[in-house]
Amino acid sequence: MTSDLRVDGARLWERIEALGEIGAVHGPNGERGCNRLALSGADAAGRDLVTSWMADLGLDVTIDAIGNVVATRAGTVPGLAPVMTGSHIDTVRTGGRFDGILGVLAGLEVLETLIQHGVETSRPIAVGFFTDEEGARFAPDMLGSLVYVGGMAVEEALDVRAVDDGARLGDELARIGYAGPTPCPSAVVPHAFVELHIEQGPVLEREDVTIGAVTGVQGISWTQLTIVGQSAHAGTTPMGLRHDAGYAAAAITVGVRAIARRIAAPQVATVGRLELSPDLVNVVPGRAVLTVDLRHSDDAVLRQAEAELEEDCRRVAEHEGVVIDRQSLARFAPVSFDDSMIELVESTAAGLGLSCRRMPSGAGHDAQMLSRVCPTSMIFVPSVGGLSHNIAELTEPEHVQAGADVLLHVILEKARETR
């Protein structure tokens, strides 16, 4: 009876702990997070560990030209497309141990559970981790899964430069040994894709609900602004004669918050990165680089927010006598997931006796890229305190178990389908 089947939550938790040791970051109050920026040495070590686990299970492991790693267990019926799951193992610089990691390791745990119990499926089952989901080092976010589905040419992606050290993505991929031989975009179109992920927000915990059946992902717009003014002496330059790039960046930052307030929820708007130069106490900044992250579930409203940002830049540039260059780093329209896949998550949760509610995703996910090519949905589990992209990020073991059990049975259901 496969309906009684459950994953081994303790084994899954042990793997989460082990991967969390790689690039570990410790906070002053006992927090344990991760710094595994994409294609860093820590990312390489994390990749090596997860790939070794995949190989230990006897799975067929492929590495593609953008460094996505996919492990597949064969099905019993020849010629059927795989059911796919997975996520990412890269993190932001101040990331947690669960964001992305849970989806990859739970997918692996699903396969180990099936192998251990001798459960065969008609379709193959594949679990993958995609390169550079976070976009914190190389923009755009979800880069590996975007290339996987043919949304960006691999040559273009390999030429992307890192925001921190200017390294070329293709060179970094080769340096860490993950420029693989499998062609990307993938020749294999999955039968379905389902991704387990932590919610990264407060809703499930606040409502005491265990499972989120994710309906879609809001639109994402990232812009980098480079402001060029004139550096000058802070003591001698009269206020009216300044072309202060720092002031201009601050005015735009305040304006970004005002855009979110004017449009109102669910509009969110963030300046997450700000670099001033020369960055000295007694010098008017001559140059500023900042990023603006705008998100909304309605693309027309997101376009309005983008237009307001553009107008703010024009006004500030004119007022302060600076030049502002705008560069788009990422732009993804909102995504709605497949109805039947959302319903399957709901009915599977109900069948396991777990509380469940529908909800949209505020964060970007690899699933939103896979939804371009196959029926897709996501399973969310609660985040303690709603915290994510924070080293204190935590999901309780019982919620890890619950989410992985839902993942197991959603995958089993889809992997039985022969049409």
Q: Which of 134, 199, 312, 366 binds ligand GLV (CB under 6 A)?
A: 134
Shortest reach from residue 141's CB to ligand GLV, in Å = 5
Q: Which is nearer to Mn ion, 242 or 389 (CB)?
A: 389
Q: Are strands 356-361 and 211-217 parallel, antiparallel or unpaired?
A: parallel
Q: 221 φ, ψ to 5°?
A: -130, 120
Shortest reach from residue 335's CB to ligand GLV, in Å = 12
User: Which listed option, Mn ion, ligand GLV, none, makes contact with residue 33 (CB within 5 to 8 Å by class)?
Assistant: none
Q: Would you call 81 exposed, middle or buried from its count of C-beta atoms within 10 A (0-12, 13-18, 19+)?
A: middle
DSSP labels for 291-320?
A: EEEEEESSHHHHHHHHHHHHHHHHHHHHHH
Three-state secondary structure string covering 199-215: CCCCHHHHHCCCEEEEE
Q: Are strands 376-381 and 211-217 parallel, antiparallel or unpaired?
A: antiparallel
User: Which listed option, Mn ion, ligand GLV, none, makes contact with residue 141 (CB within 5 to 8 Å by class)?
Assistant: ligand GLV
Q: Which is nearer to Mn ion, 134 or 308 (CB)?
A: 134
Structure token pair of residue 4: 């009684």
User: Which listed option, ligand GLV, Mn ion, none, makes contact with residue 216 (CB within 5 to 8 Å by class)?
Assistant: none
93's CB contacts (< 8 A; 6+ apart) are 35, 37, 136
User: Which listed option, Mn ion, ligand GLV, none, makes contact with residue 364 (CB within 5 to 8 Å by class)?
Assistant: ligand GLV
- How many residues touch ligand GLV (CB under 6 A)? 4
Structural contact between residues 261 and 193, judged by C-beta atoms closer than 8 angstroms: no
How far, in Å, CA of 74 to CA of 398, rounded?
Answer: 30
Q: Which is nearer to ligand GLV, 99 or 244 (CB)?
A: 99
Question: Among residues 258, 254, 234, 235, which one has the least CA distance to residue 244?
Answer: 234
Based on the shown chain and the rule CB under 6 A, indicate whether residue 141 belongs to the binding site for ligand GLV: yes
How far, in Å, CA of 388 to CA of 201, rounded?
Answer: 7
Shortest reach from residue 92's CB to Mn ion, in Å = 6
Q: Which is nearer to ligand GLV, 53 or 148 (CB)?
A: 148
Based on the shown chain and the rule CB under 6 A, indicate whether residue 364 belongs to the binding site for ligand GLV: yes
Beta bridge partners of 84: 126, 193
User: Which listed option, Mn ion, ligand GLV, none, makes contact with residue 140 (CB within 5 to 8 Å by class)?
Assistant: none
Shortest reach from residue 15's CB to ligand GLV, in Å = 21
Based on the shown chain and the rule CB under 6 A, indicate whether residue 363 belongs to the binding site for ligand GLV: yes
Q: Which is nearer to ligand GLV, 38 or 288 (CB)?
A: 38
114's CB contacts (< 8 A; 6+ apart) are 73, 120, 121, 125, 412
Which residue shows structure tokens 């969390």?
20
Q: Which is nearer to ligand GLV, 141 or 413 (CB)?
A: 141
Based on the shown chain and the rule CB under 6 A, indicate whether residue 308 belongs to the binding site for ligand GLV: no
Based on the shown chain and the rule CB under 6 A, indicate whether residue 90 belongs to the binding site for ligand GLV: no
Give, as ranges, the residues between 42 and 71 that touch ligand GLV (CB under 6 A).
none
User: Which listed option, Mn ion, ligand GLV, none, makes contact with residue 90 (CB within 5 to 8 Å by class)?
Assistant: none
Shortest reach from residue 39's CB to ligand GLV, in Å = 16
Beta bridge partners of 69: 63, 129
Binding site for Mn ion (CB under 5 A): 99-100
Beta bridge partners of 214: 359, 378
Shortest reach from residue 389's CB to ligand GLV, in Å = 7
Q: Give SS3 for 6.
A: coil
Q: Using CB under 6 A as the criterion, which residues of the chain lie in contact with ligand GLV when the complex forms?
A: 134, 141, 363-364
